[in-house]
Amino acid sequence: MQAPRIVESLPKTLVGLSMEMTFATQSSTGKLWSQFMPRRMEIANAVSQDKFSLQVFNKDFDWHTLEANMQFVKWATMEVSDKNSIPEGMQALDLVGGRYAVFVHRGLPSYFPTTLQYILNEWMPTSGYEPDNSRPQYELLGDKYINNHPDSEEEVWFPIKKLDS
């Protein structure tokens, strides 16, 4: 896996659907996306066709102690230019800006644990950064994303902050 690019992201406004789940019930992700995808064209003020798969964790979340019953909110969203036209049943989410390490995940979703292991156990310990749990982690599903395909590519945006010295 290649080293990430470090990006200072600007704030974004996202619109979409969300669902509470745990790592054990993460299969609900498919249900969430199957509800969102047919309705994505209702988002009149989308900035692009890119989709954001976003996880909002509790502030005390620790990436190194993932537990099957740990709750989080999963979002299926698109970036919008403003909140003036939110389709019925959807919600807006303000994503604050900040520093992210952007990795490229290639392959099936089932390969994602390998990508996460690289981020947490290989890259992070020598990077001079630590996870910034005050901001969501997300995947940007752009032009190279192909749902459930071995040639798929998506960007993994991992929130980071400098290690305390």
Q: Running along the chain, 165 residues long, what does each successive block of 10 average in pLDDT?
A: 92 96 78 95 95 89 76 94 94 96 93 90 94 92 92 96 81
Domain range spanning residue 23?
Answer: 5-162
Find, among 78, 68, 61, the residue nearest to 25 by Cα.
68
Q: What is the CATH number of the domain that holds 45?
A: 3.20.80.10
Number of domains in the chain: 1
Nearest-angstrom CA–CA distance, 72 and 82: 26
pLDDT given for residue 57 in this prediction: 86
pLDDT given for residue 42 in this prediction: 96
pTM: 0.91
Q: Which two tokens stand for residue 68?
A: 């099957």
Largest Cα–Cα distance in the chain?
48
Nearest-angstrom CA–CA distance, 31 and 25: 11
Please check whether residue 159 is in contact with residue 99, taking contact to mean a CB–CB distance below 8 angstroms: yes
pLDDT given for residue 26 in this prediction: 65
